[in-house]
Amino acid sequence: MVYLTGDIHGPLSVAKFSSRAWPEGKELTRDDYVIILGDFGLVWDDSMECRYWLKWLESKPWTTLFIDGNHENHAMLATYPEREWHGGMVHEIRPHVLHLMRGYVFDIDGKAFLAMGGAYSHDIEYRTEGVSWWPEEVPSDEERLRCEDSLSEHGWSVDYVLTHDAMASATTSLACMGRRIAKMDEYEEWLDTIAANLEYKRWYCGHWHMDVNRERLGLRVLYHDIIRAGE
């Protein structure tokens, strides 16, 4: 079984996977997957706190997967060993805590999942480069090309799409709901071109800190909710 949820921001909300908060988790095995849609935040620094929570996640009975968000230490993430996993490349953070690298299509539980982390930060003025912000937050041309190549290999058809940000077609209404100023960016517009050309059953994203459906786009935005893939 594959589960999905939104941003956890490291120690801030990782406890939503505790047995008390999520009893369903107790029954899972290593062949069940919990995917976090970016802003994982536990690869942030080498603090005792991050190490403690990574060990705690590793001790859970399932396999944790995540795509990266914008609030991520991308430089540190890149220091972890890379390996092939289920058709794509991952950074192995712990044996059962894996970062799904950008632009690959993974076969997870018999379904094709496109993983494409990253987003622009819109709070950059409050952040410091190399300390709380990294320019690699936005997918590079190379990563976007890899994504397009992977999709070509799959005939531009997957079961599910996993991104951190939403496509531009959704972001104006999401911004209104979240009472943010709508600032569409070129990456969201690029996601729009992907959405226009791709066949998919469901598209899941985080980033917006809300739990909401956009049926017209087949988009489900996740934050607190933990759902099963397909829902």
Asked whether the beta carbons of 149 and 180 are under 8 A apart, the reply is: no
Contacts for 154 with CB less than 8 Å, ≥ 6 apart = 105, 112
Residue 143 touching Fe ion (CB under 5 A): no
Q: Are 44 and 71 in contact (CB under 8 A)?
A: no
Spatial separation of the C-alpha atoms in residues 200 and 156, rounded to whole Å: 9
Number of residues that bind Fe ion (CB under 5 A): 2
Taking the CA atoms of the chain, what radius of gyration do you get in angstroms?
16
Selected from 10, 39, 64, 134, the binder of Fe ion by CB under 5 A is: 39
Binding part of the chain for Fe ion, among 3-11, 21-29, 139-147, 184-192 by CB under 5 A, reads 3-11
Q: Tally helices (H) and strands (E) across the chain.
A: 5, 13
Measured from the CB of residue 207, what is the shortest distance to Fe ion in angstroms?
6
CB nearer Fe ion, residue 7 or residue 143: 7
> And the tokens for 60?
């859970």
Report the nearest approach of Fe ion to the CB of residue 71 (Å): 5
What's the N-to-C CA distance of the chain in angstroms? 12
Instruction: Locate the DSSP E strands across 68-172.
Output: 82-85, 88-94, 97-100, 104-108, 111-116, 160-163
**Closer residue to Fe ion (CB): 68 or 159:** 68
Site stretch for Fe ion (CB under 5 A), options 28-36, 38-46, 179-187, 194-202:
38-46
Nearer to Fe ion, 25 or 69 (CB): 69
Site string for Fe ion, 210-229 (x = CB under 5 A): --------------------
Residue from 2, 7, 36, 44 in contact with Fe ion (CB under 5 A): 7
Q: Which stretch binds Fe ion (CB under 5 A): 24-32, 36-44, 84-92, 195-203?
A: 36-44
Under the rule (CB under 5 A), what is the footprint of Fe ion? 7, 39
